[in-house]
Structure 1
Amino acid sequence: MKQKMAVPSNATLKKNAADYSLIVVGSFLQALSYVLFLAPYKIVPGGVYGVSIVIHYVTKGLFPFLPEGLPMGATALCFNIPLMFLAMKKIGLSSGPKTIVTFLLISIFTDTLSYFLTDPLVENDAFIAAFYGGAILGVGVTCIFRAQSTSAGTDVLARVIANDSNLKVSNMIIVLDSAVVLLGLIVFRDWAVPLYSWFTIFVYGKIVEMFQVENPNRAVFIVSKKTQDMKNLIVNQLGMRGTFIHGKGMYEGLETEIIFTIAERKDLPKLKDGVKEIDPHAFVSTMHASKDSPRPGI
């Protein structure tokens, strides 16, 4: 007997359409920031594209077939693809398809815009370029986060290192981005580079924080009889950690296991959807969590 294929509901199709529309807009805005504001002034905003901007300038005139240097988008792609495989192997990146679409689009948009837009939008003012570049980059990243995606890059590497070493992801991102900025200082030998680069990172971070109206971390309590399936979802599929808390029901007095975990706001919808798919009768409760809360399951 043939099994019927599951047909996505209208709500699912609408949500996917909205998510991928946000990914297209966010990817375009990020590419616009790199091409029109940051790269022309050798501003290195950390991450994979910070490294790509440095390589783009270092390779100018090095290859006869690429006199303007290696294209930023293609160079970033060479970093993002292995980072993506590393993330899928180490932390089971659940947003894989969306992430692949995101970093492919950013690369395509970046190199396409670089071909057609050869002059910076802001002339002879690196400070204004750093401000607008950081602001547009922040709006683009916010769109990507709203679509429950990521542009891979050094944030993925930061998560892998943090998972292996029990360090905070936010601290690792700061370390990696700062290392990229210092690379720009060493290569370009210009003390203005780290100044404008860190200012861009600051503006970008504030824009993301402004549009992220909720606390980025949520404490989540899950009550379900399918505890091992929930553990597989949290640890293997979402790359998070959690703790089993022994509990006892007040009404019937039955012993139960309560799962406690800390989830980033962007990961919360995926966690809730996964829980309901495993156990439609599961009880899920969330509350605000401090950014400095220790991660459960250490």
Structure 2
Amino acid sequence: MTTQQLLVPSNATLKRNVMDYSLIVVGSFLQALSYVLFLAPYKIVPGGVYGISIVIHYVTKDLFPFFPDGLPMGATALCFNIPLLILAMKKIGLSSGPKTIVTFLLISIFTDSLSYFLTDPLVENDAFIAAFYGGAILGLGVTCIFRAQSTSAGTDVLARVIANDSNLKVSNMIIVLDSAVVLLGLIVFKDWAVPLYSWFTIFVYGKIVEMFQTENPNRAVFIVSRKTKEMRDLIVDKMGMRGTFIHGKGMYEGHETEIIFTIAERKDMPRLKDEVKEIDPNAFVSTMHASKDSPRPGI
């Protein structure tokens, strides 16, 4: 393989990257639209880093001369997301790191830009309708970002870090962290309507994401290749996953071989397959649905 072949991505990879980053732009804009036009005006706290940012935005109103309306939500979220991403990349690798950086930067930029130009809520005097539309648009934005094999960082990556160091499920940790943020909104705003509308928003956007993410997000992956060291470096060092070598023997020729077993999230599968084929075009890759309730293989 020549140096030029290594540096120039294939047409398929280029097309996928264009599609992924287009989805990231659309998803980031939709999320920002949800925060600015529907949720923040009614002090609806949808969990996560932006839920915290909405609380801080109102708490700091008239506190700083440069920001009389409160600290910008996008910039505040950025201050939380950067250290969270560094922690995640250090602890679990986070193979979607570059896309995640682009995603949370775009959401922050879109949020503060829309806040500057759009000062009035789209729905007036009806917090329930605002919570519904805000949750639906937020769900569509999150779905676009997931389809691009990215994440908006925030408490999602913190949940993955905590789950990685324990036997807790990521989904359960996200619920715990989001609920803590909602309760923070209740304590600060002293309004019992806040958790009601906030949890309703979380429910709506969760259902929207579930509607488009119907299949199990985890895959059990078996790889048969002569280049086991390179495959190990890809899975462990480059993609931040873990795996196990299984000693096997071919039924036809009787050759002994090492079979690589790992569990990958569905959003990581296109990249994993592409990287495997680049390392060894003759590699055999088989996948199946999996449940990752226990720690990853290779602990």
TM-score bracket, normalised by the shorter chain, equals: over 0.9
Change (3 A) 1:289 1:5: closer
8 Å CA contact retained: 2:164, 2:295: no
Task: Tell me how large the CA RMSD over aligned residues is.
Answer: 1.8
- Report the CA distance between 1:51 and its aligned residue: 0.6
Return the TM-score normalized by structure 2. Answer: 0.93
8 Å CA contact retained: 1:95, 1:148: yes
- Report the CA distance between 1:140 and its aligned residue: 0.6
8 Å CA contact retained: 2:93, 2:241: no
Segments of 5+ residues of structure 1 without an aligned counterpart are none
Q: Deviations over 1:162-215 (max 9, x none)?
A: 222242222221111111111111111112111111111111111111112422
Return the TM-score normalized by structure 1. Answer: 0.93
Deviates more, 1:28-37 or 1:146-155: 146-155
Change (3 A) 1:291 1:7: closer
Aligned counterpart, 2:117: 116
| Distance (whole Å) between structure 1 residues aligned to residue 295 and residue 89 of structure 2 | 24
- Report the CA distance between 1:116 and its aligned residue: 1.1
- Report the CA distance between 1:108 and its aligned residue: 0.5
Q: Deviations over 1:128-186 (max 9, x none)?
A: 11111111111111111111111111111111122222422222211111111111111
Q: Tell me the matched-pair count.
A: 296
8 Å CA contact retained: 1:25, 1:140: yes
Deviates more, 1:35-44 or 1:89-98: 89-98
Aligned counterpart, 2:143: 142
SS at the partner of 2:7? coil
Q: Deviations over 1:215-274 (max 9, x none)?
A: 222221111222233233223332323232222210122222222222221111122122
8 Å CA contact retained: 2:248, 2:257: yes
Q: Aligned residues: percent identity? A: 90
Deviates more, 1:64-73 or 1:234-243: 234-243
| Distance (whole Å) between structure 1 residues aligned to residue 282 and residue 183 of structure 2 | 51
Deviates more, 1:59-68 or 1:272-281: 272-281
- Report the CA distance between 1:294 and its aligned residue: 6.0
| Distance (whole Å) between structure 2 residues aligned to residue 295 and residue 7 of structure 1 | 33
Segments of 5+ residues of structure 2 without an aligned counterpart are none
Q: Tell whether 2:198 aligns with 1:197.
A: yes
8 Å CA contact retained: 2:100, 2:152: yes
Aligned counterpart, 2:234: 233
| Distance (whole Å) between structure 2 residues aligned to residue 238 and residue 8 of structure 1 | 18
Change (3 A) 1:62 1:210: same
